[in-house]
Amino acid sequence: MRNELRQAIVESTPHAPDGRNPTTCEQSLIGPRGRAFWPHVRMSLPVVLLLALATSLPAQDASPKKDPARPAAEKSGTPASSDSDGKADQTPAKNPFPGLGPAPSLDGGTEWLNTESEINLRDLRGKVVLLDFWTYCCINCMHVLPDLKYLERKYPNELAVIGVHAYKFENEKEAENIRQAVLRYEIEHPVVNDSEKTIARKYAMRSWPTLVVLDPEGQYVGRVTGEGNRELLDKVVGDMIAFHRKKGTLNEQPLSFKLERQKVEPGPLKFPGKVLADDAGGRLFIADSSHNRIVVASLDGQLQAIIGTGKIGRTDDAYDVAQFDHPQGMALDGDTLYVADTENHLLRTVNLTEQTAGTLAGIGEQARTRGTGGKLLETALNSPWALSLHEGVIFIAMAGPHQLWSHRLGTDKIGLFAGNGRENIADGPRLSSELAQPSGITHDGEALYWVDSEGSAVRRMPFTGDNVVTTIAGPHDVPNALFEFGDVDGQGDKVRLQHPLGIVHHQGTLYVADTYNHKIKTVDPATGETATWLGTGESGKGFDPVQLSEPAGLAISGNRLFIADTNNHRILVADLDTKAVNEFVIDGLKPPEDGR
């Protein structure tokens, strides 16, 4: 491989399952069956790509010191060949990526999704195979999905992608919950539930995400960890296709799978992520996330407006032309609605008077570095997930870099507000504190509160004074804080939550969507006392007793709590006094025309 690929460096942040932060840890580069292909490499930001993917050493030579010459073919995905102009065939005569041994089997998974039957690697012989080891909570794993979709569409007959779901949270072991994630993320390749991590152990998977490449002859070629590797994988896959096509070992017959989405009837809402109540205007705003639109209804359930066509895009225009990509959190200032357009990596504006959508900040591409900010339309953002407005400042839960950002309305700047970018739960001054995928944010006029979903913690930072970040519920400043989760009510650091995504303050109480515990909990911001308020802890959609399924968003109007019951595709409304719960039905709301 060319030197620049041998020494390739990307801005990626794998999410270490052993609790160590991958930006600082020593990580063994381990091959199948536990044999080490390479010595230890210091993992720092930027993260060095695994050299087994970027070298053409023979299988028996594991030395990373050698610098073999790059074989001929240079153009990604398009093998050169003789043509009518008499150009020489540039397809490499030597295998650019010789296998390092037979790939371990996929035996050991407990359920398969997006396919009608279990898949054996023998069934994929003749295809370049890309195994994606992921867990559906992880923002880095979410960031890899567009890269996989790009490769699948570029090489539809030559490449087979298989998702290997190796859970972090206990809730993620359940096949139905993974199925919901497959639907929510619109995954189009087969996924195996590696609920016992049997396959992960065979491949010595050490971090999420990990991408493993197998050649058309069933040989293990190498791996790469973290996000941001589209260009390298495109190059590797393209060159492998060129070689094996010429060798005659490439099977270009199309593969066909029965996807989970083919089994689902469309409904009026699809994985609603966040809600925002407007008392003064008598409105409820719903981020109908997987329909790529914002729904506006009166507080008694009358449909007022639909903002967005339902198709993925970033068009700024009238309601019936505008486009979003899986929007999440919202904030309201007068007649302007601010929207975290999460998968577009943008902050959007909606003029509720003129009924038009615009763009406030971002460039429409994911930030690949942990920047500190800049001009609104020149600064790349990274998965803005939730918003809160206080005294003319929008605070942004920026899930991708594990930080909070802020923007003062009327200025042309946006920038870092809290968090040093290291994924962890560590208290301290706001710029040196450590956050873990903040996903919900609120305030009480005196302090910001947010939930760090990957750290299963509720955090606080006052607007005035020393601006120190503290943890009021959940673990902090301990080894493996990212893996201290569960379902334990109590006080302060004794509390255990499981990937909370939503939070709202009301009259001295924090209401928290304890998402993977399928519950709503209350937290006393002064004492950290935490108690279950609604939900049984089991995923479901019953009303007696009330059941939830991965609730992600909360809003309050009067004495009513609105709940985005995400995996049940519904909004619930709970009486704060009696806990009586009903479904919030919006008259006349239908799915988009294409049924997304």
**CATH number reported for the structural domain that contains residue 386 in this entry:** 2.120.10.30
Does residue 248 share a domain with residue 396? no
**3-class secondary structure per residue, 356-373:** EEEEEECCCCECCCCCCE
530 and 489 Cβ atoms separated by less than 8 Å = yes
Number of domains in the chain: 2
With 0.85 as the threshold, say if the pTM is over it.
Answer: yes
pLDDT exceeds 50 at position 42: no
Going from the C-alpha of 437 to that of each of 342, 401, 455, the distances in angstroms are 13, 7, 8
The predicted model gives 536-556 an average pLDDT of 98
Range in 19-33, 225-239, 465-479 with the lowest mean pLDDT: 19-33
What pLDDT, in 10s, does the model give residues 391-424? Answer: 999 999 999 999 999 999 999 999 999 999 999 9
CATH of the domain at 7: 3.40.30.10
The predicted model gives 121-141 an average pLDDT of 97
What pLDDT, in 10s, does the model give residues 336-386? Answer: 999 999 999 999 999 999 999 999 999 999 999 888 999 999 999 999 999
Residue among 482, 503, 486 at smallest CA distance from 537: 486
Contacts 24+ apart (CB under 8 A), 540-549: 541/565, 541/568, 541/570, 543/581, 543/582, 546/572, 546/574, 546/579, 546/581, 547/518, 548/518, 548/519, 548/520, 548/572, 549/180, 549/518
pLDDT exceeds 60 at position 61: no
Q: Looking at residue 5, what is its pLDDT?
A: 31
Any domain includes 594? no
Any domain includes 546? yes
Strand partners of residue 506: 509
594 pLDDT tier (thresholds 50, 70, 90)? confident
**Domain stop point among 219, 236, 262:** 262
Any domain includes 160? yes
Q: Looking at residue 64, what is its pLDDT?
A: 28
In this structure, the strands spanning 159-165 and 128-134 are parallel
Q: Looking at residue 25, what is its pLDDT?
A: 27
pLDDT exceeds 60 at position 3: no
- For the chain, give the percent of residues with pLDDT over 90: 83
Q: Looking at residue 595, what is its pLDDT?
A: 57
The predicted model gives 70-86 an average pLDDT of 34
Other Cβ atoms less than 10 A from the Cβ of 66: the count is 11
373 and 388 Cβ atoms separated by less than 8 Å = no
466 pLDDT tier (thresholds 50, 70, 90)? confident
Any domain includes 284? no
Any domain includes 391? yes
The predicted model gives 100-116 an average pLDDT of 97
Other Cβ atoms less than 10 A from the Cβ of 390: the count is 17
pLDDT exceeds 60 at position 6: no
Compute the distance between CA of residue 553 and CA of residue 573 in angstroms, rounded to an integer.
Answer: 12
Q: Looking at residue 173, what is its pLDDT?
A: 97
Does residue 252 share a domain with residue 335? no
The predicted model gives 137-144 an average pLDDT of 98
The predicted model gives 480-486 an average pLDDT of 97
Residue among 404, 411, 349, 423 at smallest CA distance from 376: 411
What pLDDT, in 10s, does the model give residues 563-577? Answer: 999 999 999 999 999
Q: Looking at residue 354, what is its pLDDT?
A: 98
In this structure, the strands spanning 519-523 and 529-534 are antiparallel
Any domain includes 270? no
pLDDT exceeds 90 at position 39: no
The predicted model gives 470-496 an average pLDDT of 97
Any domain includes 244? yes
The predicted model gives 425-448 an average pLDDT of 98
pLDDT exceeds 70 at position 50: no
51 pLDDT tier (thresholds 50, 70, 90)? very low
pLDDT exceeds 70 at position 240: yes
User: In one letter, which amino acid is 144?
Assistant: V
What pLDDT, in 10s, does the model give residues 490-530? Answer: 999 999 999 999 999 999 999 999 999 999 999 999 999 99
Compute the distance between CA of residue 445 and CA of residue 528 in angstroms, rounded to an integer.
Answer: 18
Q: Looking at residue 501, what is its pLDDT?
A: 98
Helix ranges (H only) for 385-532 are none
Q: Could you tell me where the beta strands, DSSP code E, fall in 226-279?
A: 274-278
Residue 151: phi and psi, rounded to 5, are -65, -40
Does residue 390 share a domain with residue 483? yes
Other Cβ atoms less than 10 A from the Cβ of 88: the count is 10
**Domain stop point among 213, 244, 262:** 262
**Domain stop point among 219, 242, 262:** 262
pLDDT exceeds 70 at position 177: yes
Residue 523: phi and psi, rounded to 5, are -130, 130
Any domain includes 110? yes
What 3-state class would DSSP assign to 473? strand
Give the chain's mean pLDDT.
87
91 pLDDT tier (thresholds 50, 70, 90)? low
Question: Which is more confident, 449 or 35?
Answer: 449
Residue among 314, 295, 292 at smallest CA distance from 306: 295
Does residue 477 share a domain with residue 397? yes
93 pLDDT tier (thresholds 50, 70, 90)? confident
89 pLDDT tier (thresholds 50, 70, 90)? low
Compute the distance between CA of residue 338 and CA of residue 126 in angstroms, rounded to an integer.
Answer: 49
Residue numbers of the domain that contains 35: 3-63+90-262
